[in-house]
Chains A and B, each alone.
Chain A
Amino acid sequence: GAVVSQHPSWVICKSGTSVKIECRSLDFQATTMFWYRQFPKQSLMLMATSNEGSKATYEQGVEKDKFLINHASLTLSTLTVTSAHPEDSSFYICSAPPERGVYNEQFFGPGTRLTVL
C-alpha cells in the first residue's frame, strides 16, 4: 500500500515554544492530507484538512492560529503547533488518500508523539 511518513516520531518541548511536524507521501502525490490528534485511550479526532496550494480547512473548535498547516507541495504537509502548552501534548497523526479525488481508504503516517513540559 501507499506509504506515508512523519517526522519527527517524537518530540519534547518547553511550554511556549513552537513545534513543526512533517507529513510526507513517499510513493504517491497527495493533493489532500488530513491531520488528526489522538489522546490516550481515545479515538482519532480530525483537526484539519490540508489542501495543496490553498488554505487548510479546520474542524470546529480547532484554533487556526495555534495549529498552522502548510501544504506546499504534492508530497509534503506540515503542522506547526505554535506556543505549545502541556494540554497540546498528544499523538498527532496525518493521513492521505492515495488517489486524487478518491477518498476511499486513507493511509496513515506512524504518528508523532508531542510532549510539552
Chain B
Amino acid sequence: EDQVTQSPEALRLQEGESSSLNCSYTVSGLRGLFWYRQDPGKGPEFLFTLYSAGEEKEKERLKATLTKKESFLHITAPKPEDSATYLCAVQANTGNQFYFGTGTSLTVIP
C-alpha cells in the first residue's frame, strides 16, 4: 500500500535556525515526489517536484532532496514568513492520484 509519513508533526524554530523536515514514503514505483506549502485556510502552494533518487532542487531558503525511501526539505536561516504547514505527496506510476502526508507545521519565531 502506498504510504507517506512526515516528521516531525510540528517544529518551532528561532529565526535563522536551520533545520530539516522529513518525508518517508512507500510507493509501488515512484513517478514523482512533491512538496507543497499550505497556509491556514488556503489551498496548497506548489514548491518542488523530485523524480529520482539523488535529485535536489532549491528555491530561496528551501532545498529538497530525494533518496529511494525519503525526502528532506531543508530550511536554511528561516524567517517568520516561512511559517506554514509543509506537505509532502507522492504519485505512483500506476495511477494519477497524489498521496499526501499529514504535514509538518513549521513556526518560525522572530
Contact = CB atoms under 8 A, between A and B. Distances in A.
Contact of B49 (A91, A104, A107): A104
B54 interface: no
B100 A44 contact: yes
B44 A49 contact: no
Interface in B43-99: 43-46, 49, 87, 89, 91, 96-99
Interface bracket on B: 20 to 34
B102 A43 contact: yes
B97 to A, nearest CB: 5
Contacts of A45: 100
B46 A1 contact: yes
Please report whether the interface of chain B is mostly helix, strand, loop or mixed according to DSSP.
Answer: strand
A42 B45 CA distance: 17
B42 A34 contact: no
Given A34-B98, A49-B96, A105-B34, A44 B91 contact: no
Interface residues of A, number: 26
Interface in A48-106: 49, 59, 91, 93, 95, 97, 103-106
B97 A46 contact: yes
Contacts of B36: 108
B44 A108 contact: yes
Given A103-B91, A105-B34, A105-B49, A43 B100 contact: yes
Given A49-B97, A113-B41, A44 B46 contact: no
Contacts of B45: 108
Given A49-B97, A106-B34, A107-B46, 10 more contacts: A34-B96, A44-B44, A44-B98, A46-B99, A93-B43, A93-B44, A103-B31, A103-B96, A106-B98, A108-B45
Interface of B: 31-32, 34, 36, 41-46, 49, 87, 89, 91, 96-103
14 contacts: A32-B96, A34-B96, A34-B98, A43-B102, A45-B100, A59-B97, A93-B43, A93-B44, A97-B96, A105-B49, A108-B43, A108-B45, A108-B46, A109-B43
